[in-house]
Structure 1
Amino acid sequence: MAPSLIRVFEADGGIPNSSLPLVIWKDRLPGAAREGGPACALYRRNGWSGTWVYTVYPFWHFHTHGHEVLGCVGGRARIGFGGDAGIVIDVERGDVAVVPAGVGHRKIQATDDFLMAGGYPPGQQGNIVRSGELDDKRIAAEIGRVGLPESDPVTGLADGVVTVWRRATS
C-alpha cells in the first residue's frame, strides 16, 4: 500500500524537524489491530517496542531519542505536523503516521474517544521535548544517534516506512 502522504519539513520556530519525511497512510491498520492492545501487539511482533495507548499532546513537541509510529485506534482528530508552518491532517481509526525524530506534532482538536497506539523502533524511545527546552547542538547530537528502523511497524517487513526512508537517505 502506497503512503497517502510523504512530507519533509524545514525547521520551524524551535522545532528541528528532519530530513526524513513524515509518512502517513490512510486506513492502514488491519481490522484486527484497530484497538489499542492489538495495535501495540502488532507493533511488538514487528520489532517495535515501548508501545502505549493514549492521545497526542495538545502542544508542539518532538522526540530526540526515537522515531514514532502513531496508529489511530479510536475516534478522530486533527493533528498538526511540522510546526506552525507545517500541515494539519485529519486522522481516523485505521490511519497510521510514522513520525521521524525531530518532527513536531500536536493534537489540534479531537473527538472524546480519540486514541492513538504508539511505539518506537528497537532501542528508541519517545522523550517529550518542547521548543526551547534543549539547545540546538544537543538536539542535533541526540537525533543524530537515532538509527533507521529495519522493519515497518505494521508489516514487519523491510517495506513501508523502511523503503521510504531508505530512498530519502540514498
Structure 2
Amino acid sequence: MVDALHFGEAGPIPNNPDLPVLVYRGAFGGDTEDMARAMEERFAANGWPPQWRNGIYAFHHYHCGGHEVLGIAAGEAEVTLGGEGGRTLPVRKGDVLLLPAGTGHRRVTSSADFLVVGAYPPGQEGDIQRDAATPGMKRRIAALPPPEKDPVSGAPFPQRAR
C-alpha cells in the first residue's frame, strides 16, 4: 500500500510545492534476513544508488539538493514529516519513505535496533538544512527534476504530482 501526503510550507521548512511524500507500508516483507541489503539492491536497480546506513536525525531538517528514499531495514520508530505541526507516523521494518526535496523530517522515537537505508537519485545529495529556506533554496527545490524511476517499484516516476 502506498500513501501520498502533501505538505505546505511550515515555518522554516519549505516542503515540496509539487511532489508528495510517498509512504510504502510493508514494501519489503517476509523474514528477509538482511533487509538492508535487499533494500540497497532494489533501490540501486531502480536508479537510486544507496548512500548510507544509519538512522534519522532527531531534529527537523530537509534537503535542497536531492530527493531522498529511506528504507526502514530494522526496528521501528515514529517520524514527523512536514516540519513542526506536520504528521507523525509510525514506521517499521519493511516500510519505505520517499521524501521529495524540501520535505521536513525528524525521528521522534525509535527502537534500539532502528536501522535506515538512505539513497538519492544520481547527481543528487542529502545536504542537511535546518534554517529557514531562502528564496534561492526554494527555487533550487522547485527546479530539481523528479526522479526517473520509483525506488521501490521501478515504474516511471510521475513528472509532477500536483
TM-score (norm 2): 0.90
Moved over 3 A (4+): 30-34
Question: Which structure shows the bigger proportion of residues in helix conformation?
Answer: 1
Distance in 2 (CA, whole Å) between partners of 1:109 and 1:78 is 5
- The percent identity for this pair of structures is 36
> Of 147, 150, 153, which aligns to 1:152?
150
Counterpart of 2:20, as a letter, is P
Distance in 1 (CA, whole Å) between partners of 2:88 and 2:55 is 16
Gaps of 5+ in 2: none
* Partner deviation per Cα, 1:5-53 (whole Å, 9 max, x = no partner): 2111111120001121111011012544862223112211111124211
8 A Cα contact 1:44 1:51, kept in partner: no
- Corresponding residue pairs, total: 160
Distance in 2 (CA, whole Å) between partners of 1:34 and 1:89 is 24
1:127–1:155 distance in 2 versus 1, CA, 3 Å: same
Distance in 2 (CA, whole Å) between partners of 1:145 and 1:26 is 29
8 A Cα contact 1:64 1:101, kept in partner: yes
C-alpha deviation, 1:92, in angstroms: 0.3
Q: In structure 2, what is the equivalent of residue 47 of structure 1?
A: 47
Counterpart of 1:61, as a letter, is H
Counterpart of 2:161, as a letter, is A
Distance in 2 (CA, whole Å) between partners of 1:101 and 1:6 is 15
Q: In structure 1, what is the equivalent of residue 25 of structure 2?
A: 26
Please give the root-mean-square deviation of Cα atoms over the aligned residues, in Å: 1.8
Q: In structure 2, what is the equivalent of residue 103 of structure 1?
A: 103
Asked whether 1:58 is paired with 2:81, we answer no
Distance in 1 (CA, whole Å) between partners of 2:85 and 2:8 is 9
8 A Cα contact 2:26 2:94, kept in partner: yes
